[in-house]
Chain A
Amino acid sequence: MSEDLTQRHSAFRFHGSWQEFAKIAFPNLLLSIVTLGIYRFWATTREREYLWAQTDFIDERLEWTGKGMELFIGFIMVFLLLGLPFIVIQLISQGLIFRGETVLAGVITLLMFLLLFYLTGVAYFRALRYRLSRTYWRGIRGGSNDPGFGYGLSYMWKSFVGWLPIFLLVPWSMISLWNERWNAMSFGPHRFEANADWKPLMKRYLLFYLVPFLLVAGLITVAIVAAASGDQLGAIGGAGMAVGGIIVVLAILSLYIILPLAALAFYSKYFRLAVGGLRLHNLEFDFRARAPDWILFFLANMAIVICTLGIGYIFMPYRNWKFFVDHMEAYGEINIDELTQSKTIVSKHGEGLLDAFDVGAI
């Protein structure tokens, strides 16, 4: 038995509706408030249960089997293993500054930040691992046997190399880390293969990178032209001031509009390349959203949040997931008989580290 995906319209389909999601999101908000936020782990779980269950892959829906308690335990672990020691270390370094041991206090603080940086990398890895291990399709799940400690080191040095040449190698570090992360993951008996290439990303990155310089150069040109014409039309008076005002407004607008647009254009290319380089046995993946789709998505999200005075924020998990599934595509074929259960270990605790640092998984 095998499923041929070549003739299919799309392997992934999303059936959810925001009205149904609202019936989950509003009670979640209420319960999170009255429990001082503790319920949010169960809230996240209920939302994912719904979103996964509304997502069809070929002919069966996905299942989210994570538990709120797992996320809660993860959070408590992070609090005990990281939060408390950090408070103590901060107290100690404050004491050291009091005693005039400024250098030692600086070294301790630096080490603390390095550790935090390392753990952020580990957290990214473990979040992906956790999500795959709790995602079932036809009774089969994913996962990884790698605890992600090595990835944490890669995350440190690759990020550093990305920043070193005045941030020019950031695309390389992003793609290289994506590949490393996904190459360690598997679904069922099959290992993911991630071979995305970073070079095609450079053009978009340079666009984003150069936007501030181009803007400044453009504005200076406009200003010079305006000043020159202002001299000639000195009689009109006030006009120079008005032009100056317009330039300032334009500068601010372009900083807040053009820069985010360039960033979205870069990110859309990054995500397309990254997903496009992903393979699972005979399956290939594709993410079809292009820069205009991302920009519309982003503007709609802003509009929703602003028009609802912030309450629309609770619909963002729904919007994000729908956007993701609507644009995901898979090609190739799956041999159902060969797709056997994953032998990876299942960690008992959830995204604790990740929740503490508040980063996204994919």
Chain B
Amino acid sequence: MDTFFNVWHYDGRSAVRRKVEIQTIGRQFFLLENERRHGPFSFSDVEYVTRKENVDVYGLADVDGWRLMLSGPVPAELAELLPAYRKYGGWVDRLGLGKATIAFTLASAAAIAVVLLSPQWLAPLIPSSVDKKLGDALVGDFGGRFCSTPAGDAALQKLVNSLDSKPQDLQVEVAKIDMINAVALPGGKVILFDGLVKQARSPDEVAGVLAHEIGHVREKHVMQALLRQMGLAVVLGGVDGNSGALVNNMLAMSYSRESEAEADAHSMKALGNANISPVGTASFFDRLSELDGSARNRDEGQGIAGYMSSHPLSRERKKAFEKSIVKGKNYKPALTSAEWTELKTMCTQDRKAKSGFGFDFE
């Protein structure tokens, strides 16, 4: 600390340092430099700029580079007229560091809670026309990859009708893509990949997977996930890239587990209502988990890995389907064997449908 009160001034027009004295007149002041007098300036225009070690630096509103620099013990009557020292700035200075930390923590927790919880009740409020448009924009005709034959379409429609009470809001298609996968998309769209249909051993298996995807549609999981992702992107936008993405993925993951469980529950219920045995679905999951260990090097390995990443398999899932078997119930097959053959061979029969995924230019 300097022992003497020291004042100097830059007028913002040139870099000349001016040794001055402050002459206070009411709410105004002059700066006296040898024979020159600068001012008058109003105390209400004075702004705190920064502190340079033991020097407090003040500026003047609307005068670029105008500086008043004070060091040493500032006279009390002058200090009263000058703006206060700013440490953190704004709210933090007003509340104090401790209280500000608590307030910010609560606000952040509230923001995250809103983003995570609101999609559940926001998603149903999105008009179905918007949902539909989004689905159409995203999928369109899927690049002509949807397979269609009269008998195959009828078999698929029969399956959908037996699994859902309002099949008219759903658009279920089989796509000529050799991957063991199925997806639910906005606008009630469900796409079964031909690879999945081909490797299924019974129509019951396809029914279980289809009912699971319909479950995603009925529970509005797609729109919920979309809203949640957008909300998280906004809230976590301030966090630096890596840790933000990590938190985001972890939260998304825990929610996708929950959605999968809900979709499974929906599937079991729909199978029960349709009088279709869940045994097929259970064995389908069982086969997938067995394939997972050995099939990564084979051609279809990629397809299974794809299904795994969006639909985590676990023993519990398989067990849940096994548990939902009602002993003694007289289950009937989801499709007749003629219908099943038509569905299974639909993509082979439909020569107009394009095959593959993405990078072929035929």
Contacts and interface: CB of A to CB of B under 8 A. Distances in A.
Given A27-B97, A95-B137, A103-B361, A340 B238 contact: no
A136 B104 contact: no
Contacts of B17: 60, 138, 336
Interface residues of B, number: 56
Contact of B12 (A27, A46, A139): A139
B235 interface: yes
A336 B14 contact: yes
B57 interface: yes
Interface in A330-362: 334, 336-341, 346, 358
Given A42-B88, A339-B14, A341-B64, A31 B140 contact: no
Contacts of A140: 10, 12, 14-15, 65
A4 interface: no
Chain B residues touching A, majority SS: mixed
A340 B107 CA distance: 46
Interface in B315-362: 354, 358-359, 361
Nearest to B240: A37
B53 A138 contact: no
Contacts of A42: 88-90
A139 B65 contact: yes
B67 interface: yes
Interface of A is mostly: mixed
Interface string B122-142: 000000000000000111111
Interface residues of A, number: 54
A358 B239 CA distance: 13
A65 B50 CA distance: 8
A138 B239 contact: no
B361 A30 contact: no
Interface string A297-323: 000000000000000000000000000
B286 interface: no
B10 A98 contact: no
Contacts of B105: 34
Contact of A99 (B64, B140, B238): B140
Contacts of B354: 100
Given A95-B137, A102-B358, A36 B143 contact: no
Contacts of B90: 42
Contacts of A36: 108, 111-112, 235-236, 238-239
A53 B65 CA distance: 15
Contact of B15 (A30, A38, A68, A137): A137
B358 A63 contact: no
B145 A100 contact: yes
A63 B104 contact: no
B295 interface: no
A86 to B, nearest CB: 11
B244 interface: yes
Most buried by B among A46, A49, A102, A139: A139
Interface in A26-69: 27, 30-31, 34-40, 42, 45-46, 49, 53-54, 60-61, 63-65, 68
Given A34-B105, A36-B236, A46-B88, A339 B142 contact: no
B274 interface: no
A79 interface: yes
Nearest to B111: A36
A334 B17 CA distance: 14
B237 interface: yes
11 contacts: A31-B92, A31-B104, A34-B101, A42-B89, A63-B52, A98-B140, A99-B139, A136-B65, A139-B67, A141-B64, A339-B15
